[in-house]
Structure 1
Amino acid sequence: MMKRLLIGGMLAAASPGLSLAGDIANIQPIGFSADGRVFGFQEFGIKEEGGAPYSNTYFIDTENGQYLEGTPFRTEMADKDANLSKARRQNLTAARSQMDKYDLLTNPGLIAAFNPPTELGSPAKTIRYTTLATDGPPKSPYTLSLGEMPVPTPKDCAAVDKRVLGFSLQMIEKQGAPNRQAARQATAIPAERACSVEYRIGGAVVYQPEAGNQVHIALVLAFDADRNGRWIAVPVHP
């Protein structure tokens, strides 16, 4: 069933062969609530223009893909002695109450796949993974496929000289069998991602609650026209 997505943020990557003039955020998953209803992560980096360190912590409702009320927490430091360490610490301090409320550090989940743009030759629009960290042949794999689509250009993006895009996400393999589950489709792009011109699927995180079904998080990287890359956490329920 197609679900409306109000997008969250995440990881770090860029498509092979593209000119990387902008900055691409790093990602640090924080974890899940015990029931899998909340997922948190931090993205951080140094802005290409001006060199300001920044850090953002996101908390996603995995049922509907939206930010939790009162989040995300954003930090950008412009003072002359600012550095990335200070930005990250200050940002995590601001976000700590939500981290503790949902006990996210207790349930890190599994980084099932990671597909950064620095990995040469890796596909930009698909990712295949299993949900068990075991050696040997892959067992019951899943494959996610990312599509792009034109969306109406917001007023704030009028100066962008490239076509503004949204995306769709489809699970085309489920436990080793062909599948055509339309997992998520972006029908509304939040302000900080409104001028995205390209997307890459950069990873997947999986969590199994003690009671209930698995939660998969697709890590989607959104690029603006200046090649700045920021992350989106997309919940998927196989």
Structure 2
Amino acid sequence: MKKRLIIGGMLAVAFAGLPGLSLAGDIANIQPIGFSADGKVFGFQEFGIEQSGVPYSNTYFVDTDSGHYLEGTPFHTELTDKDANLSKARRQNLTAARSQMDKYDLLTNPGLIAAFNPPTELGSPSKTIRYTTLATDGPPKSPYTLSLGEMPVPTPKGCAAVNKRVIGFSLQMIEKEGAPNRQAARQATAVPAERACSVEYRIGGAVVYQPEAGNQVHIALVLAFDAERNGRWIAVPVHP
């Protein structure tokens, strides 16, 4: 059975510095792994250290057509032994996920990190992101803009103790190749277990990939916050 995605979280670049944020919770780092050659699978790793000091690492594999996790994924690792550290957690997690990485040859097709908008970037918008799909210098060519909206959702049973409103989100592509657009890219009216108690979202980046045959695949990187201000990533497939 496929697990519901709505986002599995990713954008990666070494954002290993996020612990310096003036937030109460921890915000996961994200590292994209890559795409299958046909663009139908996207993988990324999310990692960090919980407020309790426990290092963790999660690797997600997303079906870019359905937005669901691939069967048997994601892979979650938390280490509580005395000599646990983030390096060990990441290595163990990637070892567990390696068969899927190799099966879809993800390291061969990294895609392009077209935009990145972390919460450490002061003054940047939290609900929109604008980017182009070609890494060239000069004026922007055929830009795209994604807009993130938030919406109320029924509160899951496991979130009954949360003292803030639990919400979902919608995602629109409001600019396509430089022209106004109103494409409803994805709506998350029911959030999966990993993000069930989210109370706020931020659009944190975009990754694009062009298969040799076929249409471009865009991945919106959405950061979901819980009531304790812990931030975890969701990778949302968008097909312009």
Asked whether the two chains share a fold, i.e. TM above 0.5, the reply is yes
Distance in 2 (alpha carbons) for counterparts of 1:93 and 1:4: 23
Distance in 2 (alpha carbons) for counterparts of 1:135 and 1:10: 26
Q: CA offset at residue 9 of structure 1?
A: 1.9
Q: After the TM superposition, which segments of 4 or more aligned residues of structure 1 sit over 4 Å from their partners?
A: 1-5, 11-14, 16-19
Provide TM-score, normalisation by structure 2: 0.93
Which has the larger displacement, 58-67 or 186-195? 186-195
Structure 2 unmatched runs, 5+: none
Q: CA offset at residue 50 of structure 1?
A: 1.6
Q: CA offset at residue 109 of structure 1?
A: 0.1
Cα 1:5/1:91, change in 2 over 3 Å: closer
Cα 1:2/1:86, change in 2 over 3 Å: closer
Cα 1:2/1:73, change in 2 over 3 Å: closer
Task: Answer whether contact 2:6 2:236 (CA < 8 A) is retained.
Answer: no
Distance in 1 (alpha carbons) for counterparts of 2:156 and 2:46: 25
Cα 1:123/1:2, change in 2 over 3 Å: farther
Cα 1:51/1:13, change in 2 over 3 Å: farther
Q: CA offset at residue 18 of structure 1?
A: 9.1
Cα 1:157/1:49, change in 2 over 3 Å: same
Distance in 1 (alpha carbons) for counterparts of 2:13 and 2:24: 13
Superposed CA deviations along residues 22-73 of structure 1, whole A, max 9, x for unmatched, are 0000000000000000000000000x43200000000000001100000000
Superposed CA deviations along residues 70-127 of structure 1, whole A, max 9, x for unmatched, are 0000000000100000000000000000000000000000000000000000000000
Task: Answer whether contact 1:3 1:184 (CA < 8 A) is retained.
Answer: no
SS at match of 1:6: coil
Q: Answer yes or no: is 1:178 the counterpart of 2:180.
A: yes
Task: Answer whether contact 1:12 1:231 (CA < 8 A) is retained.
Answer: no
SS at match of 2:134: coil
Task: Answer whether contact 1:145 1:169 (CA < 8 A) is retained.
Answer: yes
Cα 1:95/1:18, change in 2 over 3 Å: closer
Cα 1:112/1:13, change in 2 over 3 Å: closer
Report the identity percentage. 91
Task: Answer whether contact 2:11 2:207 (CA < 8 A) is retained.
Answer: no
Distance in 2 (alpha carbons) for counterparts of 1:130 and 1:4: 29
Cα 1:176/1:17, change in 2 over 3 Å: farther
CA RMSD of aligned residues (A): 3.2
Structure 1 unmatched runs, 5+: none
Task: Answer whether contact 1:8 1:231 (CA < 8 A) is retained.
Answer: yes
- Bigger relative CO (Cα 8 Å, ≥ 6 apart): 1
Provide TM-score, normalisation by structure 1: 0.94
Distance in 1 (alpha carbons) for counterparts of 2:119 and 2:188: 22
Cα 1:42/1:129, change in 2 over 3 Å: same
